[in-house]
Amino acid sequence: MLTDLLRRLSGQDTAPLPPDDARLALAALLIRVARTDGFYAVEEVERIDRVLSLRFGLSPFEAVALRSEAESAEAGAPDTVRFTRVLKEAVPLADRAALVEAMWSVALVDRTRDADEDALIRMVANLLGLTDVDSAHARRRALQDPEA
Strands in the chain per DSSP E: none
For 51-101, write each residue's pLDDT tens digit: 999 999 999 999 999 999 999 999 999 899 999 999 999 999 999 999 999
In the chain, the percentage of residues whose pLDDT exceeds 90 is 76
Domains, in order of start, for the chain: 19-144 (1.10.3680.10)
pTM (predicted TM-score): 0.85
Whether residue 31 contacts residue 67, with contact meaning beta carbons closer than 8 Å, is answered with yes
Q: Which amino acid is at 121?
A: I
- Name which of 65, 76, 61, 57 is nearest 27 in CA terms: 65
Interior/surface letters 74-100, b for 16+ CB within 10 angstroms, e for the rest = bebbeebebbbbbbbebbeeeebbebb
> Sorting pLDDT into bands at 50, 70 and 90, what band is 112?
confident
> Sorting pLDDT into bands at 50, 70 and 90, what band is 45?
very high
Cβ of 54: how many Cβ atoms within 10 Å?
13
At 16 the pLDDT is 46
At 131 the pLDDT is 96
Torsions phi, psi of 38, nearest 5? Answer: 90, -5
At 111 the pLDDT is 83
